[in-house]
Amino acid sequence: MVKVVCTYTLTEEQLGRIKSQLGDRAELVKVKDFDEAGDVLSEARVLLTNQLTIDQKDLEKMNNLEWIQCVFSGINHFPLGYLKDKGVILTNARGVHRIQMSEFIVSLLLSIVRRSYHYTKAHLNRKWDPIKIDELYGKTIGFIGVGAVARETARKLRPFDVRILGVKNNVEPVEYFDEIYSGDGLDKLLEESDFVITLVPLTDETKGMIGEDQFRRMKKTAWFINVARGPIVDEGALVKALKEGWIAGAGLDVFEKEPLPEESPLWDLDNVIITPHIAGPTPHYMDRLMDLFIDNLEAFVEGRTDKMVNVIDYDKQY
């Protein structure tokens, strides 16, 4: 029997699904924290965790650890070098965000062109303040990163008759995209897009990849949207771009520091829409993650680790 340590409280239904598919081949043990877990840590071969801080000293207590399933897509809070050296498999929640994040992005785009954010503020101030609104029709939307969320968003955007561009490492046709550029084509995407949307993982390569040079290449009428990770963007350069009119505005769900500090100048800019890192959560999140985890757990129990999905490449950090 494979012992699984879980730091997340699963529902009875979710536990029942694991039991139904795995039977007596796996045992799931809930722990509140590593300090009070005791001997169960050294016995476990699998860790299912939602912790935002993972200390190497805690993982060192898990002598038999072979696989970690992270509840999130981001894995930068893990001691990746240590896990690589130990040969521990790390899988993330890539794809679990596809539905809710695509809906969030589409709603944000519509809010921007129809100026919903302006009218919300006017409403709160009891102000009748009609301004010019726009359409998504005919706009060019550029995705930096063409993973599951970008592809689902592109599918949802097709009925709006927009042009959809993407930047990814391997240039190949992608359904619902009009054109795919390699990394060298980022400048071209920035210059052509009315909306630039970042959906890349945070790695050593992508950290700070959007800065002053990139904002200066964008149209003055373009909006920048970040629903990936805050450190991908040079926030100081973004503030400067917004204040000096290099771009029209920004929709931001993630930031260099979270919660966004009260003293951040982003709060005071009228051309910024701020949400508190809420594009991904949904009541259905863990049910969707269970689909992924249970299939991976069955492959693991059967010794078919080559069939597991969302396995992190430690060198690429995604």
* Helix, strand, coil fractions of the chain, as percent rounded to 5: 40, 15, 45
154 neighbors 143 (Cβ within 8 angstroms)? yes
* Cα separation values, 72 from 49, 69, 113, Å: 9, 9, 31
Question: Which of these is catalytic: 94, 179, 229, 235?
Answer: 229
138 Cβ contact list (under 8 Å, min separation 6): 161, 162, 163
Q: Which of 17, 155, 277, 288 is catalytic?
A: 277
* 224, 247 Cβ separation under 8 angstroms: yes
Q: Is 48 helix (H, G, I), strand (E, B) or coil?
A: strand
152: number of CA atoms within 13 Å, CB side?
A: 16
| Catalytic entry in 258, 284, 302, 304 | 258
* 192 catalytically annotated: no
Place of tokens 């990814």: 168
- Tell the residue number behind the tokens 């012992």, with chain if given: 3
Identify the helix (H) or strand (E) that includes residue 68. strand 67-70
Please state, in angstroms and as integers, the Cα–Cα distance from residue 165 to each residue in 53, 82, 110, 196, 242, following that order: 35, 38, 18, 9, 23
User: Do 195 and 154 touch, CB atoms closer than 8 A?
Assistant: no
Q: Is 17 an annotated catalytic residue?
A: no
Q: In what order do the strands lie in the sheet with 89-91?
A: 26-30, 2-6, 46-49, 67-70, 89-91
- Smallest CA-to-CA distance from 43 within 56, 57, 31 is with 31
Catalytic annotation present for 36: no
**Residues with catalytic roles:** 229, 258, 277
